[in-house]
Structure 1
Amino acid sequence: MNEKEFLASYDRKDYLSPLLTVDAVLFAYHENTLKVLLVERASFPEKGKWGFAGRIY
């Protein structure tokens, strides 16, 4: 399934509203460089894109 097919079958009414999300941003300073932990999305929407670690409840 690609994102276009996913969005065609997606129905907002299948999910409770409003949604609660929790995100965490982890910063590190290593070798004079500020770094941020990112995760690659494993599912649609936005599969393959990078974002902060989090979850929808």
Structure 2
Amino acid sequence: MGAEDNAKNPVEDLADNAKKTFGQADDDEDLKAAGQGDQIKTHSKDGKERTENLLDE
């Protein structure tokens, strides 16, 4: 995994959190759920990349 992937994940996480927050503020359960799902996906991807980086060492 390159530095570009590692830099992209925090940006994705911010976007996912914003989506979830707007869903909460607007009382939009679909948007809130989509943001939460995206956050889970981003965190899983980040964990996978960290594991791969540890195995490469």
TM-score above 0.5 = no
Instruction: Place the TM-score, normalised by the shorter chain, in its bin.
Output: under 0.3
Larger Rg: 1
- TM-score between both structures, scaled by the size of structure 1: 0.21
Higher strand share: 1
- The answer to which structure has the higher helix fraction is 2
